[in-house]
């Protein structure tokens, strides 16, 4: 058994329609199963935290949830758009923060009226206003992580998936992240991170992933 469910996900369900439903999702990498089948459900406004150590399948889980990896076992259903904070973000380094977010804002399938927060609000959420006209490639690791977060929050996705969002953030960045999560009334937020790295208070614990026995 590779996954230890510390609390039933269903206990977090509220009355509204689920934004994310995961049923018997099996994860494997290189033909090897990472965790036991997972069940999870999140509705709008809900938050959840999943702990997992190195190699426990956190990133594979998140990438499967946002359609970047195919579902090989079980079922994943989500409603609306996803904001994803990858652990290792990739950016067009030659673009300025504002230009890049403007383009992503345009890419959003949501009608213009519903695309809140817009670019300046997303920059403001993570105190990036002073870097709005800096090329992304010139940002430090911590500011790039803030861009990673701002990118996910842009255009009000219905589901926010944060893979180790605390990476490289200073205390002020952590505070901005906490504030942003608390202000996300509409979005459901799911965070994966190792235990004890500063994410423990960001959301209620849903379950804990453990690495395969032989890993």
Partner 1 sequence: MNPLLKGFLREVMPWTWQVFFALAVCTAASLSFDASLGAHSLGTYLAYISILPMVLLFRIGSVLDRRAQQGWPHQEILRNANGHKAPLNEMIGSAILLGATLLLGMAPIVSGLYPMPNPSSGLYPVHVQFTTQDDGTELWLFDLGSTVPKTARLLLTVDWSEATVSPENAVVQSPDERQVRPIPGELVQWDLSEAEARVGKLVLQPNAQSGLILRKQLCRLEIPRPEADALPRLLLHQFLFFLPLFAILLAWFRCGRIRGSLSAMATFTIASIAALPLSPVDLGSGPVAALAKMLVLVKLALPPVEGLLATGHRFDRLADTTPELGIMGWLMLGGLALWLATRRRPPRKG
Residues engaged in binding partner 1 (CB under 8 A)? 28-29, 60, 64, 66-70, 72, 81-84, 86, 89-95, 99, 102-109, 151, 155, 157
Residue of 66, 107, 110 lying closest to 86 (CA atoms): 66
The smaller minimum CB distance to partner 1, of residues 7 and 24, is found at 24
Least separation in angstroms between residue 91's CB and partner 1 is: 6
Least separation in angstroms between residue 102's CB and partner 1 is: 4
Least separation in angstroms between residue 108's CB and partner 1 is: 5
Least separation in angstroms between residue 47's CB and partner 1 is: 19
The smaller minimum CB distance to partner 1, of residues 14 and 68, is found at 68
The smaller minimum CB distance to partner 1, of residues 41 and 148, is found at 148
Least separation in angstroms between residue 92's CB and partner 1 is: 4
Residues in the chain, overall count: 215
The smaller minimum CB distance to partner 1, of residues 95 and 174, is found at 95
The smaller minimum CB distance to partner 1, of residues 24 and 29, is found at 29
Asked if residue 141 has a cis previous peptide bond (ω within 30° of 0), the answer is no
């Amino acid at each position: 058994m590779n996954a230890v469910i510390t609390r039933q996900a269903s206990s977090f369900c509220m009355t509204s329609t689920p934004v994310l439903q995961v049923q018997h999702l099996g994860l494997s990498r290189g033909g090897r199963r990472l965790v036991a089948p997972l069940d999870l459900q999140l509705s709008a406004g809900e938050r959840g935290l999943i702990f997992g150590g190195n190699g426990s399948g956190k990133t594979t889980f998140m990438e499967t949830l946002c359609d970047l990896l195919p579902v090989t076992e079980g079922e994943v259903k989500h409603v609306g758009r996803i904001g994803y904070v990858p652990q290792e973000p990739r950016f067009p380094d030659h673009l300025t923060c504002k230009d890049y977010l403007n383009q992503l804002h345009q890419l959003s399938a949501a009608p213009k009226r519903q695309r809140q927060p817009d670019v300046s609000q997303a920059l403001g959420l993570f105190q990036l206003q002073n870097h709005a006209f800096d090329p992304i490639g010139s940002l430090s690791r911590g500011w790039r992580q803030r861009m990673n977060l701002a990118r996910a929050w842009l255009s009000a996705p219905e589901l926010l998936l944060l893979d180790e969002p605390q990476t490289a953030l200073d205390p002020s960045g952590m505070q901005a992240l906490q504030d942003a999560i608390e202000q996300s009334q509409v979005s459901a937020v799911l965070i994966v991170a190792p235990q004890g790295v500063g994410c423990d208070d960001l959301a209620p614990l849903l379950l804990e992933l453990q690495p395969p026995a032989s890993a």
